[in-house]
Amino acid sequence: MLGMSYFSLLDPQSPANDGDYCVERCHINVWSLPGLLGHRPMVFDVGIVLESAPRLVQAIEMVVPVRVVRVINLSQEVADTSNGRLIFGRHFQGAQGNIITLSGLGAIPVIGVSEQLDVTVDRELTVVRIALGAGMPSSGHAYVRMRLVADGAFPMWRWRWVLGRRNGALIDFRVHDPREGGYEQHTRPDLRDRDKQIPKLDAFFMLPERFQISGQNPALEYTRTLEGNRWKRYLHRSPYGLFRHEPILVHRWKQHEHQSQSGISRPGVDADHPFRGYLQFNRVPGFRPVSDTLVVAVATALAALALLRPNTLSNGPETVLNSVADVVVDAGAKIVDQIVAAGVLGAIVVIYSLLSRAGKAPRFVALVKRSFKRWEFQWYRRLDP
């Protein structure tokens, strides 16, 4: 059975130690970035406008739909004027020191977070506790932003593979949806009834332009083109690959509480009004149907035969078929050898994937992968804008 993970900000288990807070806004940015050897590293950024209530907040606990291996403090990036304009758009009015000014909120401090990893992971859920740095005001708003480096995002993000390449993607992003989120299956009473209300939720998903939307629910607020290497300072690496600067598209969902013209109050996101977002992407151009591929293959074989053995075509269809059969047999023998080698490699990948999902993959393999990802990040960080 496919378990469903979700995102949630949680009420503290220990208010006496962690304090408590109210959420004003929540920003989520999910990045699928280009990597080496076809790898696409993913980061999950969370930004929160919050207010201490009634005790001074010391830590934030949340459920996230990715397997977290590292937490990065983004307070300096947020307080940078050029980054602030990119993150908040027209709502950003300026920054001075660690104070940013946002329309509707005024001047608010940006609070740092601890980068010490405090995480509980099972097969479906990742619970992260983030300790806040100094400077949290006892009253009024503040902003915190952190980057959760992902080591896996299944089942929120599922790539669709055809012939060894990514031919599409399915995104199933849920907020405050524990009923379908999986904790009932694993008896997680520590998460029950702890979802904080989020009056204003904004979720952004960044993918290359070659992945085009073929399905969405609910409707997106918009899709736009990312401002390219202007985001390099925020990401601490180039958003592009080594060989091409393919445009990146930003897909935004928005769910804000508001009063409609008919007088009906629309809530934001809470346990009674969860957010369930679904996106389906197809790669363009995609692989052609099998029938078209066979027709092209036959036409290519006849063209090759006309070039290599032109006299064969004048000897009648039986001779042509025999010649084609000889060519196919010779090529088939080589292809079979390659298929066997690919099959062995594929079997290894499948076995490793199954072991990983069961939490039984060799630890040293995971360490090697993470070391490769750290080296890969540094490589892309050196790319020129």
Q: Are residues 371 and 271 in the same domain?
A: no
**Average pLDDT score over residue span 254-275:** 80
**Average pLDDT score over residue span 110-137:** 89
Number of domains in the chain: 2
Within-domain flag for 2: no
Cβ-Cβ contacts under 8 Å for 104 (sequence gap 6 or more)? 91
Indicate the residue among 232, 251, 283 that finishes a domain: 283
Rounded to whole angstroms, the maximal C-alpha distance in the chain is 93
List, in sequence order, the alpha helices (H) in the chain.
15-18, 75-78, 81-88, 178-181, 232-235, 290-308, 317-357, 363-381
Q: Are residues 263 and 340 in the same domain?
A: no
Contact (CB, 8 A) for 230 and 57: no
Per-residue confidence band for 181, with pLDDT thresholds at 50, 70 and 90: very low
Residue 357 has pLDDT above 90, yes or no: no
Within-domain flag for 253: yes
Indicate the residue among 283, 304, 334 that finishes a domain: 283
pLDDT digits (tens, 9 = 90+) for 284-342: 887 655 555 666 666 776 676 666 666 655 565 656 556 656 666 666 566 666 666 66
Q: Are residues 118 and 227 in the same domain?
A: yes
Nearest to 37 by CA among 373, 331, 292, 291: 373
Within-domain flag for 3: no
**Average pLDDT score over residue span 157-186:** 78
Q: Are residues 37 and 127 in the same domain?
A: yes
Of the two residues 5 and 298, the one the predictor is more confident about is 5
Residue 247 has what pLDDT?
92
Q: Are residues 335 and 217 in the same domain?
A: no
Residue 26 has pLDDT above 90, yes or no: yes
Residue 309 has what pLDDT?
60
CATH, residue 82: 2.60.40
Q: Are residues 53 and 72 in the same domain?
A: yes
Within-domain flag for 1: no
The burial of 21, by beta-carbon neighbours within 10 Å (0-12 exposed, 13-18 middle, 19 or more buried), is given as buried
Q: Are residues 165 and 313 in the same domain?
A: no
Within-domain flag for 61: yes
Q: Are residues 310 and 279 in the same domain?
A: no
Within-domain flag for 309: yes
Contact (CB, 8 A) for 5 and 175: no
**Average pLDDT score over residue span 358-381:** 69
Q: Which domain holds residue 188?
A: 8-283
In angstroms, what CA-CA distances link 178 with 197, 251, 359?
A: 14, 24, 22
Q: Are residues 221 and 362 in the same domain?
A: no
Within-domain flag for 13: yes
Per-residue confidence band for 96, with pLDDT thresholds at 50, 70 and 90: very high
Sign for the CA dihedral angle at 353, 358, 361, 367 comes to: positive
